[in-house]
Amino acid sequence: MTTSTNGKFDRTPLIAGNWKMNMDHVQGITLLQKLAWTLADANHDFDRVEVAVFPPFTDLRGVQTLVAGDDLPVVYGAQDLSPHDSGAYTGDISGQFLSRLGCRYVLVGHSERRAIHGESDALLATKVAAALRHCLVPVLCVGEALEIRQAGSHVEHTLEQLRGSLAGVTAEQAASLVIAYEPVWAIGTGEVAGPADAQEMCAAIRNELSELYDTATAARTRLLYGGSVKASNAAQILRERDVDGVLVGGASLDVAEFANIVRFEHHLVTDTPA
Ligand X SMILES: O=C[C@H](O)COP(=O)(O)O
143 labelled binding-site residue: no
Active site residue 182: yes
DSSP lists the bridge partners of residue 140 as 108, 179
Residue of 92, 90, 174 whose CA lies nearest to 128 = 174
Stretch that binds ligand X, among 150-158, 181-189, 206-214, 235-243 (CB under 6 A): 181-189
From the CB of 71, what's the least distance to ligand X, in Å? Answer: 27
110 is annotated as an active-site residue:
yes
Residue 188 engages ligand X in binding (rule: CB under 6 A): yes
> Which residue in 13, 109, 226, 245 binds ligand X (CB under 6 A)?
226
Identity at 21, one-letter amino acid code: M
Closest separation between CB of residue 21 and ligand X, Å?
A: 12
Q: Does 229 bind ligand X (CB under 6 A)?
A: yes
Residue 18 is labelled as binding a ligand: yes
Q: Is 270 helix (H, G, I), strand (E, B) or coil?
A: coil
> Does 28 appear as a known binding residue?
no
- Smallest distance from the beta carbon of 23 to ligand X, in angstroms? 14
First to last CA, the chain: 32
- Spot the catalytic one: 44, 50, 110, 240: 110
CB neighbours of 155 closer than 8 A, spacing ≥ 6?
A: 200, 201, 204
Closest approach of ligand X to the CB of residue 184, in Å: 9
- Residues from 233 through 262 that contact ligand X (CB under 6 A): 247-251
- Whose CA is closest to 13, among 248, 227, 204? 248
Sole binder of ligand X in the list 53, 98, 187, 238 (CB under 6 A) = 187
For residue 194, which amino acid is it? Answer: G
Q: Judge residue 273's burial from the number of C-beta atoms within 10 Å of its C-beta, 0-12 exposed, 13-18 middle, 19 or more buried.
A: exposed
How many CB atoms lie under 10 A from the CB of residue 236?
18
Q: Which is nearer to ligand X, 130 or 186 (CB)?
A: 186
- ∠ CA 125-128-133, rounded to 5°: 125
Annotated binding residues, written as ranges, equal: 18-20, 188, 228, 249-250
Looking at the annotation, which residues are catalytic? 110, 182
Residues that bind ligand X (CB under 6 A): 18, 110, 182, 187-188, 226-229, 247-251
Annotated binding residues for substrate, written as ranges, equal: 18-20, 188, 228, 249-250
